Structure 1
């Protein structure tokens, strides 16, 4: 790689005819563009200043210098992290880790602590490039080496088209209502598609809906855990997170080590979900994302503002701009460690307390979970909750599982469509004939059509052999995106805003951690994550 590709902010000798300049969109006090406030048509880009300056980043189009918006207060409630929480608080937190606790004891949770803490740092580093440029991490990967981006494009197509989360949630909903799970799953997918199609700005709608769902889930699970659990359950759940190095002999067996690898990967959002977070930051208007138009629902796609052909950069030699940058870093750090890490940890603690309480009330539930019967285990846990309080608690438990499935479906459908549309728009020849909102709708409804076909004519989660490969790719993607993060942030950002040695060491450790465990499982046991 030519080191001359990485330069400090400096003028280039050529003009940039494709430059656009949209008024900054600050999350705390956003000014509506003309099309959003009632004007018709597409907003016209402002002409580029005569003294336009650029930041050269790789061999792709350079980034025009624009002002960095002022950061909102660092302490806040809503933010792009709600997408990671919705995607992260899934069957890993509600089933996989409680199951491991029942098999190996609460001391096994030290691995969960490492997994979710690594993801919080990954979240911070994913945000670095996105907020500095307004580009997704996929665009950043293309600036390093285009095949890196296409690897993630293909991986997303292989991993995230299967309606697994929705099927699990619909199955729990069937237990509550008696409605066949295939019917409710199909209805749920169609509802998601219609809602996203009618939305004026998809991000705004989804942030509000997911915030309500996550709030209900966090408060609800905590209340139920307090009703059926004991202080001893809570104490062992928390202290178990600090039993570093605990690894019983059975945990290293071919039957359980791949499960543990998968559970660590699913401690928080797994696979490419952290990468999609960079697109949610952009639509939130975080950092230089304020200069990029937001994705609209298909019904309002004709109102889509002109999309620039690349992102932007701020003047890192200006002390005032760097002060604003530090404000944005404080904002996203609060997101990572208070909202993402804290909420994910709280929900997992609640479900682990619930699992321990169910084992105390009905010791047979441990044997059921040891056999790997997910549905039977969920039934046994719900029955135990009913025995601990009242029959309604069993119903409430299944409602929580259904809500988790809905959260994951909303987040995954949006994120997958958003990511594929972003890569298609910027890097597929001829794709710019369509607005990015129309490409988003194309991938969204394609995903829905495939999911309905699988639910009606094939196994809901895909053939077992394919699932093994998909699980491998999901965990492999996590190790891979850590490597990409190191390359993008250290090679494609100006020196003043590159990550420090500690951040680089943590991300490097995460890459070795994910890939090392994955390949050890593959070569030592001949199996991938479960």
Structure 2
């Protein structure tokens, strides 16, 4: 109605007073009788200030997320961050053994597949962080919001795949070559030490971030220095240029002996299996985004100090420009983590090991034949001997120290991540589990993992029963394809539209799902074997 239609007397031309616009009432919930009693001459004075109705974001069929303010983002450029867990988990036998082995068999041109693998992992990391920082919930909780059986699949897969102490065994074996101490004794002592340290820690995350940062720093600097001393500029040049020979795939690479190994190597270019999913829990304990509203896990000794965990996460107001400004700041912060700290450090370590492998082959041509035979320990011995021959016997010792350090990094990261993930799913979705604090559930899974690992080390094969190794390898790589599908569903269904991923991110994650699952099932049905 235009203002010209109103008379000075305050009436319309028809003599009817103009309508007063009705105030908008929040639709999140209906006011209670006490709240709706506004007060009048008959009922008494109204309250001085009515409490505003709480607002929620509904995501899936689970409890809606209350709207809370998003904290200010820290500076984008930083040194420490939750990415150190992914680097610790990702820089393992794939970077130090699998890819150097492939280079010695097929040449450095095969490294274009590594470039694709680690780049896919970096994008996955960014998309995993999207949901975790927007809600303060893990990706497991997000999967349950879409379809609860999805979450239970990962719960069971984690138990089947990650209870075997394979990483610790490899590191302990390398340590035995340096010290002569039996690897079983070192591995058992290492597991007990990890359990005690995690139990005594006031906040587990803070301790691990500091320890792993030191270990990764030593590994990166150490391997770079040794590579510079042993390798040549030609080794470095061929290692780097080999990453850009896209499409190079010799006929032998498609054989039953090597194709499954190549698939596994691509999957393990960086963290493999469920390690990217556990990263969302480390983001929460770091206080990234809405994770700042969720208490952190404490060691068992300090479990009684554990603050009450909320029954769900939170959401910020995506219609508020200032909140979106802060959200963009958090996205810049995690992008720096993904591109420089994760992609860059992982790439640097594998470049160093590849240069070392090429140098060892040049100094001892027989090492290529040893690696071709698939004997991991013999291959590592040959590489260590070549390093020693290149300059000093100490190089061989240093090499095995690096392998032992890789095993330690992976063990620290895996023990914490497994316990953290299982405790999170148990606390929120197992009936009656909330009677215990999440810190106590963390300790339960941690010490259960340690006890099982010790039994396997003392009375069974360290890598797990041989009859189920193929099943475990299949589940680990299948989980990677599955979590890409889950990412697409969670981020595009449960998040508000302004913070959903763009078309480019969705296409890349969709490609990763097809790539992992397609290569895995092709290897299974074409060759009768899964990734190696």
TM-score normalised by L of structure 2: 0.91
The equivalent residue for 1:414 is: 416
Further displaced range: 460-469 or 243-252: 460-469
Q: Give the structure 2 partner of residue 251 of structure 1.
A: 253
Match of 2:293 in 1: 291
Q: Deviations over 1:74-122 (max 9, x none)?
A: 0000000000000000000000000000000000000000000000000
In structure 1, what is the equivalent of residue 269 of structure 2? Answer: 267
Q: Say which SS state the counterpart of residue 12 (structure 1) adopts.
A: coil
Cα deviation for residue 15 of structure 1 reads: 9.0
Determine if contact 2:364/2:386 at 8 Å carries over to the other structure. yes
Match of 2:450 in 1: 448
2:428 to 422, 426, 429: 426
Offset at residue 465 of structure 1 (A) = 2.3
Any conservation in 2 of the 1:11–1:55 contact (CA below 8 Å)? no
In the TM superposition, what whole-angstrom CA distance separates every residue of 1:8-39 from its partner, at most 9, and x where no partner exists?
xx7521699xxxxxxxxxxxxxxxxxxxxxxx
1:524 — aligned with what? 526
1:141 deviates by 0.2
Equivalent-residue separation in structure 2 for 1:467 and 1:244 (angstroms): 32
Match of 1:75 in 2: 77
Q: CA deviation at 1:186?
A: 0.4
Match of 1:398 in 2: 400
Match of 2:38 in 1: none
- After superposition, give the CA deviation of every residue in 1:128-172 in whole Å (9 maximum; x if it has no partner): 000000000000000000000000000000000000000000000
How far apart, in 2, do the equivalents of 1:517 and 1:496 lie?
34
1:99 aligns with 2:101: yes
C-alpha distance in 1 between matches for 2:29 and 2:429: 25
Distance 2:286 2:527 in 1: 44
The 8 Å contact of residues 288 and 312 in structure 1, kept in 2 or not, is answered as yes
Question: Which of 374, 377, 380 is the equivalent residue of 1:375?
Answer: 377
Question: Take 1:484 and 1:318, find their aligned partners in 2: how far apart are those partners?
Answer: 28
Residues 131 and 288, structure 1, Cα contact 8 Å, conserved in 2: yes
Report if the CA contact (8 A) 1:11-1:54 is conserved: no
Q: 2:201 aligns with which of 192, 199, 202?
A: 199
Separation (CA, whole Å) in 2 of partners of 1:405 and 1:497: 38
Q: Which residue of 1 aligns with 2:182?
A: 180
Q: How does 1:232-381 map to 2 (within 5 A)?
A: 232-381=234-383
Q: Is the 8 A contact 2:28 2:53 kept in 1?
A: no
Q: String of CA shifts for 1:176-207, please: whole Å, max 9, x gaps.
A: 00000000000000000000000000000000
Mapped contact 2:29–2:53 kept (Cα < 8 A): no
Shift of 1:464: 2.0
Alignment coverage as a number of residue pairs: 489
Distance in 2 (CA, whole Å) between partners of 1:262 and 1:291 is: 38
The answer for the alignment partner of 2:29 in structure 1 is 13
Q: State how far apart, in whole Å, the 2-side matches of 1:225 and 1:470 are.
A: 34
Answer with 1 or 2: which has the greater Rg: 2
CA distance in 1, matches of 2:464, 2:55: 51
Q: Which residue of 2 aligns with 1:5?
A: none
- What residue ranges of structure 1 are gaps of 5+ in the alignment? 1-9, 17-48
Deviation of the 1:52 alpha carbon: 1.0
2:505 corresponds, among 497, 500, 503, to 503
User: Alignment partner for residue 116 of structure 1, among 115, 118, 128?
Assistant: 118
Q: Give structure 1 regions of 4+ aligned residues with deviation exceeding 6 angstroms.
A: none
Q: What 5-or-longer segments of structure 2 have no aligned partner?
A: 1-25, 33-50
Match of 1:457 among 441, 452, 459: 459
Cα pair distance change 1:94/1:128, threshold 3 Å: same
What is the TM-score of this pair, normalised by structure 1? 0.92
Query: How far apart, CA to CA, are the structure 2 residues paired with 1:51 and 1:352?
Result: 60
Query: Root-mean-square deviation (CA), in Å?
Result: 1.0
